[in-house]
Amino acid sequence: MEVTGRAVASPGLFVARVEGEAMNRRIPSGAWCVFRLAPARPRDGQVVLAVHQDVRDPELGGTATLRIYENAAQAHDDGSWEPGVVLRPASTDASFRPFVLGELEEGGFRILAELVEVLG
C-alpha cells in the first residue's frame, strides 16, 4: 500500500483496516490507518490498538480494540500507587463503554500499537 500522508514508510509502521463504530468520531469504520508498534508507555489521549485475553470487544467479539488511552493510576495517602488504565471509545453510539483495567500487563493486557494517521 502506498502511504501518501504525513507518515513515512519505516520499520515499525504497518497499515491495517479498522472495522467497527467504537471510534467513529475520529476513525470511520472501514478506514485504512497507519500504526506504529507500541511505545514503551502510551501518552494520555493517544489512540492505541490494545489486546486483552479476558476482554471481548462488544461489537465484533475480538480481543483487539482501538481506543483512547488514559492513565488512571491513583496515589494513596501512604505514598503508594495503584496502577490503572482506561481505554475510552470515541463514538456517536453511547452504548460503547470504556474498558477499565489495572496494570498494562495484568490479565494479558497489552498495547500493540499507536495510531499515526488515518488514511481514509
pLDDT at position 52, please?
A: 74
Side-chain-facing half-sphere of 116: CA atoms under 13 Å: 23
For cell 482506561, name the residue. Answer: 86
CA 86 to chain centre: 10
What is the CATH number assigned to the segment(s) 13-118?
2.10.109.10
Nearest-angstrom CA–CA distance, 22 and 28: 9
Q: Where are the domains of the chain?
A: 13-118
The whole-model pTM stands at 0.79
Residue 84 has pLDDT above 90, yes or no: no
Of 21, 16, 30, which is closest to residue 95 (Cα–Cα)? 21
Confidence of residue 5 (pLDDT cuts 50, 70, 90): low
Residue 26 has pLDDT above 90, yes or no: yes
DSSP string, 58-115: TTT--SEEEEEEEE--EE-TTS-EE--EEEE---S-TT---EEESSTTGGG-EEEEEE
Residues 30-56 pLDDT 10s: 999 999 997 777 889 999 998 877 666
